[in-house]
Chain A
């Protein structure tokens, strides 16, 4: 079976500088691919390109084996769940309304929505009695669980997570990492997750994609990166993270 997302020679530049050099990358079905690299190396740009928040300057991005025509972009987005570091929850809506927003918009039956919602609460370990709260009334970890529920609501084929745990304190972070790993494997979810934390990448990834300055430097398992670094940068990046852990 082909990859779910296939990027071929995709590049993007902003006025002053290239954010992504021509890049080819396949996102395999049912796997968790983790994008890692220093800040500003183009990770978020790659995710934005896939969900079409921005358009590529060159190259093609096929989804499920076919290019996405402009009239199909909204359809594409509904097949993808997108979670960002800040959560992106809408402050004027309760947790429940945030999660159900698209399902309601698409006119899904009430009964189905209710069932799916308690399913998701169980899956993400979010207390159902907090569903009536507004985002400002929730903790950071709870907000990210709601954000994840919203992304999963329509059973998306692809989950894009852009540093979903980046703003959380270490304990909450560790417990969410565990939950995420379990959710991904239980759902056999195709995931593309961005992090700048090597330990998180090592824990969650089936495959790690290391980026630097708009280019993919190396892909493989954490053992591959350690044992067979493609360049000095890879070694440097790994060592920097290790020394951080030693402090």
Chain B
């Protein structure tokens, strides 16, 4: 009889648990269904892609199509997956990348071959936009001349040179490894580094050789030379737009209007403008040669307005995910506090979640059908991330209640739920609140990564500052994020005084 009764109350707990675990999915579903509509243009995480994305958005707006640009979502795989699963509708890509990374072929393909191969995947491709942005290895001009290095082959004689290469270049099928083997390069030091940071490192002499795109504005700005690809290793990288076939015809023709309109010189100029003004929309407007209209459209938000927008979004991401962590974490912590196999599984799961680097967690969620490039992915990742401190502190807070108190509560004849509500949770409240506070501070910090998948927040200026190697822009995000973390900490210290029963604070 006792068994049966126990089972009954466990079932109730299970129902509650299921309800609470479904809640986040449900809330996320609602939040996502609210945001349907505009044509979504994606772009990769570098200046040129940002600018092309802005140009496409502008081109669509000029055709009276509502468009949205998700800036700097990540690398090829993330953008391609997002396009294929319909999370974005179009993005700028390069023929060489399409061949190597997407179609996985070593051959040089004709435009017809590209189009028919992509068509099978439901994706269309515009004609080339007009410029070839291939990879190049670059060095400082005076150093290259001093060493007599003019071609990539010349590097063979200088294995002492230090290489700082982007992670993407290091990993690509057509990147560093085959290049090194074709040219028989065997340098002593090869290090992976962010593209924009790499330029700064090259300039101050930390590195001697770096990979670059042939239209990078930095090549001219920093007085670098692109070494001649004397064995024609690098394939051609014609810029095109990839788009979903399912798009309405007017959208596709607006994109096609960009075909053949941007040559190398023009692209370098647009890139330089973007890096100089740190305003991609303004650089894009240069393309349209329509100053009067562009000033109306892209007069640029005031800094205060931008800061408010970033901060609000940041709080939204951190706050919403924290709420979910609390709603799910406390019941899980209660279950875990009872020990046994279930407790181990719960604490283990929450622990594993936290050991996954936050960046990796985002990257793991993006390819899943429900998530993709979206705010809900960011919130889900933050939610999972914030779970452990709450679950663990709830469990230990409850387990640390002395046996004499636990037995006194039971001996009074209180039902299990009432024991929890009236006795155990209030006594554990200090520990639980400390867990929530830890989660909140972690979330504020980690939410800066949400910008990587276009979810906005204070990570946006940090990311574009990193991309432009512009410290002021980085600080515009980093300082408010730090201040926010401090404020949240302070707020929780206040909350301590309100929420923790007085008898526990004496």
Measured CB to CB, the residues of A under 8 A from B are 48, 51, 53, 55, 69-71, 74-78, 80, 82, 84, 86-94, 101-102, 105, 134-137, 150
Contacts and interface: CB of A to CB of B under 8 A. Distances in A.
A69 B415 contact: no
Contacts of A101: 412, 422
Interface string B146-162: 00000000000000000
Contacts of B4: 70
A69 B1 contact: yes
B413 A102 contact: yes
B423 interface: yes
Contacts of A74: 413-415
B107 interface: no
Contacts of A55: 2
Contacts of B402: 86
Nearest to A153: B412
Given A55-B2, A71-B1, A77-B410, A91 B418 contact: no
B418 A92 contact: no
Interface in B481-506: 501-504, 506
A82 B414 contact: no
A222 B275 CA distance: 98
Nearest to A92: B501
Contacts of A91: 405, 427, 503-504
B413 A84 contact: no
Q: Pick the 4 closest A-B CB pairs, nearest first.
A: A88-B408, A77-B413, A92-B501, A134-B503
Interface string B362-398: 0000000000000000000000000000000000000
Contact of A90 (B407, B423, B429): B423
Most A C-beta atoms less than 10 A away, residue of B5, B413, B414: B413
24 contacts: A53-B407, A70-B1, A70-B2, A70-B4, A71-B5, A74-B415, A77-B413, A84-B404, A87-B404, A88-B407, A88-B411, A89-B408, A90-B405, A90-B408, A90-B427, A91-B427, A91-B503, A92-B427, A94-B503, A101-B422, A102-B412, A102-B414, A105-B418, A136-B506
B235 interface: no
Interface of B: 1-2, 4-5, 402, 404-405, 407-415, 418, 422-423, 426-427, 429, 501-504, 506
A221 B143 CA distance: 107
A79 B423 CA distance: 20
Contacts of B412: 77-78, 82, 101-102, 150
A163 B283 CA distance: 83
Nearest to A147: B408
A92 B503 contact: yes
A169 to B, nearest CB: 20
B413 A134 contact: no
B407 A84 contact: yes
B276 to A, nearest CB: 61
A139 to B, nearest CB: 14
A136 B412 CA distance: 21
Contacts of B413: 74-78, 102
Given A69-B1, A77-B413, A101-B412, A93 B405 contact: no
Contacts of A134: 502-503, 506
A90 B406 CA distance: 9
Nearest to A135: B503
B414 A88 contact: no
A208 B429 CA distance: 43
A182 B232 CA distance: 106
Contacts of B2: 55, 70
Contacts of B410: 53, 77
A93 B415 contact: no
Given A88-B407, A92-B426, 19 more contacts: A53-B410, A70-B4, A71-B1, A74-B413, A74-B415, A76-B413, A78-B413, A82-B408, A88-B408, A90-B409, A91-B427, A92-B504, A101-B422, A102-B413, A102-B414, A105-B422, A134-B503, A135-B503, A150-B412
Contacts of B407: 48, 53, 84, 88
B404 A88 contact: yes
Contacts of B5: 70-71
A39 to B, nearest CB: 17
B296 to A, nearest CB: 61
Contacts of B408: 82, 84, 88-90
A71 B228 CA distance: 87
Contacts of A53: 407, 410-411
A66 B409 CA distance: 25
A92 B422 CA distance: 10
Contacts of A71: 1, 5
A89 B411 CA distance: 12
B1 A82 contact: no
A69 B502 CA distance: 39
B404 A86 contact: yes
Nearest to B418: A105
Contacts of B411: 51, 53, 77, 80, 82, 88
Contacts of A150: 412
Nearest to B3: A70
Nearest to A71: B5
A88 to B, nearest CB: 3
Nearest to B6: A70
A61 B410 CA distance: 19
A105 B501 contact: no
Contacts of B502: 92, 134
Contacts of B423: 90
A13 B274 CA distance: 79
Contacts of B503: 90-94, 134-136
A88 B427 CA distance: 13
A80 B411 CA distance: 8
A76 B422 CA distance: 20
A128 to B, nearest CB: 19
Contacts of B418: 105
Contacts of A94: 503
B405 A137 contact: no
A208 B414 CA distance: 32
A44 to B, nearest CB: 10
B1 A88 contact: no
Contacts of A76: 413
Contacts of A87: 404
A111 B268 CA distance: 85
Contacts of A84: 404, 407-408
Interface centre among A75, A87, A92 (most CB of B within 10 A): A92
B506 A137 contact: yes
Nearest to B1: A70
A156 to B, nearest CB: 10
A70 B6 CA distance: 10
A136 B413 CA distance: 24
A87 B409 CA distance: 12
